[in-house]
Amino acid sequence: MKLMFPKLSRVSSFFVLVVVAILLTGSVSAQSKKAAAAKKAVAKKPATTAKDAKKDRDKAKATAKAKQDKKEKLTAKTKDTKNDKAKKDPKKAAESKAALAERRRKEAERRAAIIAEQRRREQARREAIARKAAVENGLHIETVANISKDNTEGEDLNIRNAAINALGGHAGSVVVMEAQTGKVLTIVNQDWAIRSTIRPCSTIKLVTGVAALNEGVISKEDGSVRNVSTRRKLDDAIAFSDNAYFQRAGVQMGNAKLVEYGQKLGLGQQTGVNLEGEAAGRLPFSNSNARIYSHGDDTEVSTIQLAVMAAAITNGGHRVLPRIPRKGVENARFQTFYKANVDVPSPSVRRVIPGMMGAAEYGTARRNMNQTLGVAGKTGSCIDKGSWVGLFASVAPIEQPKYAVAVITRGQRERGRYAAAVAAQVYNALAGNIVRTDRNLAQTEFKIAPRNVAVTKVDARLAELADDDEADETDAAVTVAGDRNVIIVPSAPPQKKLVTKTADSRPVFPPVVITYDKDEKGKKQKP
């Protein structure tokens, strides 16, 4: 037994080893099969994905084709339906086509009309610009031609050259005259200054003011308008050319009074200057529109008339007879003649002077104005005879006026402020002969102590447009602390005697009227 047990033990061990080997071999085989299957599955997966993508594409194509077929069938069906309807009702089909054609025709016409209107407006704009340029050029050519034909005999050629230089590129006329004697120092562009007339624009406010003062419509004490509330009083209404103020005063006064006082101040009649062909101008006898009191509608004046009117208001109410001294002896011993007296109480006439001073100091005429010369005046701006008109009627120095300067300019860009700037240059040239006897008109005229106040500043654009034709009311005044002190003449308070007569208030010679023959011979003097 002992001999057999080892053998049995070895056989058993061998058998165990065989079994283990078989098991190991089977496990390896199974793992190999699994790996091979996994590799096969991985290899087959891309093929399956590509196949699925192809199926999807085929399906999408089939769907698109089905939709297209359905759309084509629907379109064919619609066409068939329309054809059937057309076959059934050809009249409606024709009407439909006609309506469509009509709509297209109207749309084409509308577009063509829009284009034509745009072209028409552009052409009109170009033509308007060309017309304005032609008018402007014509005015300048006429001014130059007229100046070259002026009769300068007896004129002060230095003052004439100064006036021509001041006029510069403006189309217009200038009159420089001795305010208290009527001696004409120069008339630049005599045809326009003497022989033609134009609307006075806002310079008519001086006539309205004098008339309304004397008729009791405007208070001499505080400058208010009777029974009416106004934004400004008389002085500032003149300085800023307040259209509404003078319209309200004028309406209460009436047309007849404006005409009457216009004649008293020399409008609507010849001044009597010793030049042939003087125009008389006109007054608004049959016009009661409120604009006649503020814009001068239906009224016409000449440059020489403005100079005479400004002198009459400021030299005691005497209307001088303007004359050019044609001979040396006349120039050396010039005789003063008065055409007439204004025949209005002096307080009513001279009460507008503070406003005229204000226009030159801080109002519409302040542009380039030398404030040391004592200029007082009134601007005007409006449209007449196809162009803008700028006017300025003035005197200096105001205490004892030596010169009266009137300017009228014409052109698309002209305004009263530019006419005033021309006059300012003339006054600068005359500055050496201007002597201020008393810089405070308030003391000499109204016996009121002056007061220093901050300058009243007005928005530049609105102030300069104050007397323009299109500005019916000027409500933009703004008071600001000024950078300099000025003397502004206040309205006179109630007192028994508003004016103190001086030697300057009385004429040097008795009133006379002088007439001339055309040949300037046989001069007749009538008392």
Residue 106: inside a domain: no
Predicted pLDDT at 504: 36
Domains identified in the chain, total number:
1
Contact 317, 238 (CB under 8 A): no
Q: What is the pLDDT of residues 162-180, one digit of tens each?
A: 999 999 999 999 999 999 9
Predicted pLDDT at 512: 38
Residue 138: inside a domain: no
Q: Tell which residue, 320, 346, 266, 282, has the closest CA to residue 513.
A: 320
- Whether residue 397 has a cis bond before it, omega within 30° of 0: yes
Cβ-based neighbours of 139, under 8 Å, separated by 6 or more = 171, 387, 410, 411
DSSP state of 301: B
Residue 338: inside a domain: yes
pLDDT tops 50 at residue 479: no
Predicted pLDDT at 99: 86
> Could you list the residue range(s) of the whole structural domain that residue 472 is in?
154-526
Paired residues of 282 in beta bridges = 300
Contact 356, 376 (CB under 8 A): yes
How confident is the model over 501-514, as a mean pLDDT?
37
Residue 237: inside a domain: yes
17 or 100, which is more confident? 100
Which domain CATH number covers 375? 3.40.710.10
How confident is the model over 244-257, as a mean pLDDT?
95
**DSSP secondary structure string, 117-168?**
HHHHHHHHHHHHHHHHHHHHHHHHHHHHHHHHH---TTS-HHHHHHHHHHHT
Of 45-49, 170-174, 413-417, 490-494, the least confident: 490-494
Q: Tell which residue, 183, 324, 277, 165, has the closest CA to residue 174.
A: 165
Residue 14: inside a domain: no
Single-letter code of the amino acid located at 2? K
Predicted pLDDT at 19: 72
Predicted pLDDT at 446: 46
Contact 502, 314 (CB under 8 A): no
The percentage of the chain sitting over the pLDDT mark of 90, rounded to a whole number, equals 51
CA atoms within 13 Å, Cβ hemisphere of 285: 5
Residue 321: inside a domain: yes
Predicted pLDDT at 128: 80
Predicted pLDDT at 275: 94
Give the orientation angle of helix 90-149 with respect to helix 4-88, to 10 degrees.
80
Contact 480, 457 (CB under 8 A): yes
Predicted pLDDT at 514: 38
Residue 189: inside a domain: yes
How confident is the model over 39-59, as a mean pLDDT?
65
pLDDT tops 60 at residue 450: no
**Interior angle at CA 137, CA 295 and CA 169, nearest 5:** 75
How confident is the model over 340-349, as a mean pLDDT?
90
pLDDT band at 15 (very low <50, low <70, confident <90, very high): confident
Residue 268: inside a domain: yes
How confident is the model over 126-130, as a mean pLDDT?
82
> Alpha-carbon distance 161 to 140, whole Å?
18
Quote the radius of gyration of the chain (alpha carbons, Å). 50
Contact 264, 490 (CB under 8 A): no
Predicted pLDDT at 491: 34
Predicted pLDDT at 145: 96
Q: How far apart are the first and last CA of the chain?
A: 196
Predicted pLDDT at 48: 58
Task: Give 238: exposed, middle or buried? Use CB within 10 Å, 0-12, 13-18, 19+.
Answer: buried
